[in-house]
Structure 1
Amino acid sequence: MTNLKASAAPAPADLEGDLASLRGDCARMAPHWTAPARLDARPVPPSSIHGVTVPPASARLLDAMSDYGD
């Protein structure tokens, strides 16, 4: 038999949370992620990018956004 008091489940996530709850979620997850000591970012030539497809609905959405389409 399981001792429910010893293995309490975490509280359900608040899907309509505010910025404070989002920051709390990020703070709890931060120890699980590691960043490389140094990141060497180099440009990638377009000829080496293969197999990227954008659904037409997503392309129309981005095209309609003034930040991206103008």
Structure 2
Amino acid sequence: MVGGGGYGERKKVVLKKRKRIRTEIQKEAANLRERRRMKDLNAAFEALRKLIPLLPYEKKLSRVELLSK
């Protein structure tokens, strides 16, 4: 066929579409893993904050301040 407009061209379009769908699914999964990781990290910092006494007038410690105490 002249111009290459046969089965091979159609196959490339299908493969690109599948790759795009798979990439979007992988991206969603990575985002979910990152949200879970941050949730766990924040929970760990909250637990650590509860172990360090503060005076009533002091503000909540930042992560850096918390780790330096």
The structure whose residues are more often helix, as a share, is 2
TM-score normalized by the length of structure 2: 0.22
TM-score normalized by the length of structure 1: 0.22
Q: Which protein has greater RCO, CA pairs closer than 8 Å, 6+ apart?
A: 2
Decide which structure has the larger Cα Rg and report it.
2
